[in-house]
A and B are shown apart, each in its own frame.
Chain A
Amino acid sequence: MSSNMIATRDAYGETLAELGAENGDIVALDADLSGSTKTGVFAKKFPERFFNMGIAEANMVGTAAGLAAVGKIPFVSTFAIFAVGRAWEQVRQSVAYPKANVKIVATHGGVTVGEDGGSHQSVEDIAIMRAVPNMTVIVPADGVETRGAIRAAAACKGPVYVRLGRNKVPTIFPPEHRFEIGKGCELRPGTDLTLVTTGLMTAPALAAAELLAKEGISARVVHIGTIKPLDQEIILKAARETGAIVTAEEHSIIGGLGGAVAELLGEEHPVPVRRVGVRDRFGTSGKAEELLKYFGLTPEDLAEAAREVLARKRV
């Protein structure tokens, strides 16, 4: 792991601006948060292709669908809670239903939004977007993967939801890493159990695997960058080979990565599963690190979940 720290939203802003120079059809829309979502970087370079839609997310998403209908590739950004919450039915009807080529890149996902509190901490967006037909759902772990994900989103045809975070996070992937939609990656080999993680929980999972190794527990770490379509193969392989699964996400345990993995394993290869995430609660104000502790999302929490699932495996 590199000590290089970058927020995924910053990687997005830079990549979107690069893409803007490469492809004249790329346009960006924001709802008065371009400084926070980093679409402002694009706006500065390509003001004629940037549309600030004001604090009106429903119309922003509909406008993006219209732009896509005449051949543009719109990137739509705001905080996850507003992109998915406020504009959900516009995403469903105007974007997903017609398979419009709209990329919804939401920042400030999860509880690490921090001080703004529960009103601004989206813990349901992955579940909601995953349930919408035609939608691809991507949750990158770091800056490198975000760059790849944004490029992949621009290159593929159809609706994509990308969930990004607010804070600086460690870089996990080497700069040459190639992101592919629908492909998970094994980041650490292991035989006793597998930590299946997404987004910003992948770095803590790697730390948890270190803690477990000191106890003689061999934990595999599989990062799932694309929640939908899910890389079923890598998860089933992990279940068959290690016999126990812990999922981890900065999201509700309902309907996100944990839900997707539990559904898959329940049908195809039942093994003990423990879902680490926000346990059906709203967020609250606090510092990001405090909140990760408060909601049980630290490497220590993951290691504890691993011990618990391992005990069940041995019964």
Chain B
Amino acid sequence: MKERIVELEEKARKLRVSIVKTLHKSQSGHTGGSLSAIDMITALYFQKMRHDPADPSWEGRDRFVLSKGHAAPALYVALAEAGYFPAEDLMMLRRLGSHLQGHPDSKSTPGVEVPTGSLGQGLSMAAGMALGLRLDGKENRVYALLGDGELQEGQVWEAAMAGGHYRLDNLCAMVDANALQIDGEVAKVMNVAPIADKFRAFGWNALEINGHDMAAIIDALELAEKVKGRPTVIVAHTVKGKGVSFFENKASYHGVPPSDEELPRALECLGCLED
């Protein structure tokens, strides 16, 4: 397992490089939240989830909902790496006619289950999927990745209430708790803490981890699957802009792509020197 963790860490590093290059090319999109979420997305797509890039609508697949849809670049680089579409497509992100929309669009992109981008809606859709799959007696699991700022949306708590009420143990929410949102610190804009306790109060199993510790992410996902009778939330403490030192912990890089001048420095931070 230790070797596998190292492989996944290397995969995440590679995907960070891809995020930075993709956003530099598009000159539009969300850098900070993509870099904070990518370790969890890597763990899901390259370790935990059952899925088939050659058959995106395979019935046996687990489902993933990127509720914090502005981290679309993180999802797109993972889908490209997994083989849902060619990596060259990433260079068309956010362009007219591209299948890679600014925020995830299930009608455009193979591998995207539902559209997101308007915050607060993904957990409801994930819970609906979990209800439907359970109704059919299927074992598939449903994962939803939310931002911590996103938790300010009331609908998230309606969904949390329903997930607890319907005891959706095939549902796992992950919170990319990078502590920043567009206008600044989440705690100052509108405090959402304590996150885990709030979910627990709604009947969820709650785990807290370091969202950049690959072994901890995998362990938490394994643990979540074993818990029966209630859904699990993994509150993952992360660093916005993780991996690129001068982006880290800066709210100002929420929706800003790397400039021409920043690109080589960003790639250098990620141990990618060939450019």
Contact = CB atoms under 8 A, between A and B. Distances in A.
Interface in B110-155: 113-118, 120-121, 123-133, 135-136, 154-155
B4 interface: no
A74 B106 CA distance: 19
A102 to B, nearest CB: 10
B159 interface: yes
B225 interface: no
A275 interface: no
A90 B124 contact: yes
Given A49-B135, A58-B154, A66-B131, A93 B121 contact: yes
A56 B162 contact: yes
B155 A63 contact: no
A94 B113 CA distance: 11
A71 B162 contact: no
Given A62-B159, A63-B162, A69 B129 contact: yes
A48 B165 CA distance: 14
A65 interface: yes
B268 interface: no
B82 interface: no
Nearest to B124: A62
A59 interface: yes
A65 B114 contact: yes
B131 A69 contact: no
Contacts of A183: none
Contacts, number: 107
Interface residues of B, number: 33
Given A94-B115, A97-B115, A71 B132 contact: yes
30 contacts: A48-B135, A51-B166, A54-B161, A56-B161, A56-B162, A58-B121, A58-B155, A59-B155, A59-B159, A62-B125, A62-B155, A63-B128, A63-B131, A63-B162, A65-B128, A66-B126, A66-B127, A66-B130, A66-B131, A69-B113, A70-B63, A70-B132, A90-B121, A90-B155, A93-B115, A93-B117, A94-B114, A94-B115, A94-B121, A98-B115
Given A61-B124, A65-B125, A65-B128, 9 more contacts: A51-B166, A56-B162, A59-B159, A63-B127, A66-B124, A66-B126, A69-B113, A72-B135, A98-B106
Interface of B: 63, 105-107, 113-118, 120-121, 123-133, 135-136, 154-155, 158-159, 161-162, 165-166
Nearest 9 CB-CB pairings of A with B: A66-B128, A62-B124, A59-B158, A70-B132, A63-B128, A66-B125, A56-B158, A66-B129, A67-B128
